[in-house]
Amino acid sequence: MSVRLDVDEDTGVAVVTLDRPHRLNAVDLDTAAELRDVWRGLRFDDRVRAVVLTGAGGRAFSTGIDRDAVVPQPGSPYMLDDPLLTVGPKANDLWKPVIAAVEGMACGGAFYLLGECEFVVAGADAVFFDPHTTYGMVSAYESALLAQRMPHGEVARMMLMGTAERVSARRAHEIGLVCEVTDPGGASAAAVACAAVVAGYPPAGVQGTVRALWAAKEAALASAYAQAPHLIALGNLPGEEQARLFTTRPDTPPHVR
């Protein structure tokens, strides 16, 4: 199992942990299926009134899709298959609040998860970036989700700078991606403390508030998501060219801001 679920019945808080530290908590197809099952299971678990999502190992929250995952695609831009589209809580109709706790790297497909959390707590050593453009890929869904949380120019800079630049936890807090920065290693404890407070409130009011907040951005996301498959189909380099870039791009230290 690559997703761990721990429930504290006394507080009503569940902790969902991406547990593939040897792969920097990258999501393969099995992990994607496990995440879907966990979110759907939590819909029916009345012990749980709030959730914390984190990654094991401390080096990364998640680095997105596992590069070794093989995703068969139909030969049509109208039927693009993206296994990460269904890994988040909102995609699985879970309206219990989910708080993300980020330590280390969060990049690329990790934003499918962070974009569907209510808010993000980060350790001081956390960094955020999106490698898509560096390797000849379109950042579509990730960009659409982050555009709901950050100023347009900040999203554009993160997505277009690719692997050349990483956003520090401090800067992420300044631009609204992160709501709290803790000492290194303290994100999970801080997120659990917030979740325990929220779990102590009447759940119907909490879940209605979560649903109302999500409704405020659903229309924009629906329009952006409708365009995403075609933009990806048009803009992504063929797989073999992407692979070449992964092996030939110079491995220079990124700038952190």
The 10s digit of each residue's pLDDT in 123-177 is: 999 999 999 999 999 999 999 999 999 999 999 999 999 999 999 999 999 999 9
**109: which DSSP letter?**
T
Q: Give the residue from 104, 94, 92, 93 showing the smallest Cα distance to 26.
A: 104
pLDDT surpasses 80 at 244: no
> In the chain, what are the domains?
3-199 (3.90.226.10)
Close Cβ partners of 25 (under 8 Å, ≥ 6 residues apart)? 18, 19, 55, 56, 57, 60, 61, 62, 63
Give the model confidence (pLDDT) of 83-135 as tens digits. 899 999 999 999 999 999 999 999 999 999 999 999 999 999 999 999 999 99
Give the confidence band of 60 by pLDDT, cuts at 50, 70, 90: very high
Q: Give the residue from 92, 121, 91, 95 showing the smallest Cα distance to 106.
A: 121
pTM, entire model: 0.93
